Amino acid sequence: MDLNSKKSAIGFFDSGVGGLSVMREAIKLMPNENYIYFGDSKNAPYGTKDVNEVRRFSFEAIEFLRKKGAKAVVIACNTATSVAISELREYYGDFPIIGIEPALKPAVEYSNTGKIIVMATPMTLSEKKFKNLMNSYDRREDIIPLPCAGLVEFIERGDLQSIELEKFLQDKLKDINKDEISSIVLGCTHYPFVKNEIKKIVGNDVYIIDGSQGTAKELKRRLNIIDRLNDCETKGTIKIFNSSEDKDIIDLSYKLLEI
């Protein structure tokens, strides 16, 4: 299919099923678009891998989606965005590539006081891109990065609510005074699927935000600029692929889109 066609699909990729939280928001915003999703669950999680490995996986994912006819690609993975988006954009030139980054701006705007916890993979938090983002705010002493190695694996196996997950989250948050938290930024696209479990621990007064809606809006804006929004009025199609040969992953993927 022509990559420049308005009816061509929008491609999404992530290290696994997490990016479906972003594609879900795009579908709400642009239900008439066609969508292709590639989850790299065979290589998940990216957040504890070598940087060069993640770059290679990212190039392979974009090649896969372009061969499927994608007119644009969303890197629906914070880790891949932080380590690979510059190289990908340089290599692919005018081909639209949209990334995602931790939603610090709305968290900072939400309250003038209190701590902002950024839950993300170790790689996302250690990269220069995140440090530059954090340093762009005057209240950087209130921004607390919280590496959550191991959380992605719960979501990849479809465990969105269990005693083990609750214990894991309690352990991650145990050293933080809950009364001092104003907001939590979910800096990994897998994490919105366990938002309710996080809320159980920190309470309803803590604002929990992720970058999915902002990324979907940016995608629409970019497609509009290049006149590539689908003007068809019927509901679009959704196709999901995964590098894992486990059929349960595909079933889980469609289930997560409905949450």
| 78 in a known ligand binding site | yes
Does residue 189 contact residue 120 with C-beta atoms inside 8 Å?
A: no
| 15 in a known ligand binding site | yes
- Annotation says 148 is catalytic: no
| Alpha-carbon distance values, 11 to 27, 101, 110, 123, 201 (Å) | 12, 18, 32, 24, 35
- Annotation says 232 is catalytic: no
| 47 in a known ligand binding site | yes
**Catalytic position from the list 26, 188, 194, 229:** 188
**Catalytic position from the list 23, 27, 77, 173:** 77
| 190 in a known ligand binding site | yes
| 79 in a known ligand binding site | yes
Locus of tokens 């190289």: 87
Q: What is the DSSP string of 204-249?
A: TTSEEEESHHHHHHHHHHHHHHTT------S---EEEEESS--HHH
- Decide: residue 90, CB within 10 A, 0-12 exposed, 13-18 middle, 19+ buried: exposed
| 110 in a known ligand binding site | no
The 8-class DSSP code of residue 120 comes to E
| 189 in a known ligand binding site | yes
Catalytic residue annotation: 77, 188
Annotated binding site for substrate: 14-15, 46-47, 78-79, 189-190
Annotated binding site: 14-15, 46-47, 78-79, 189-190
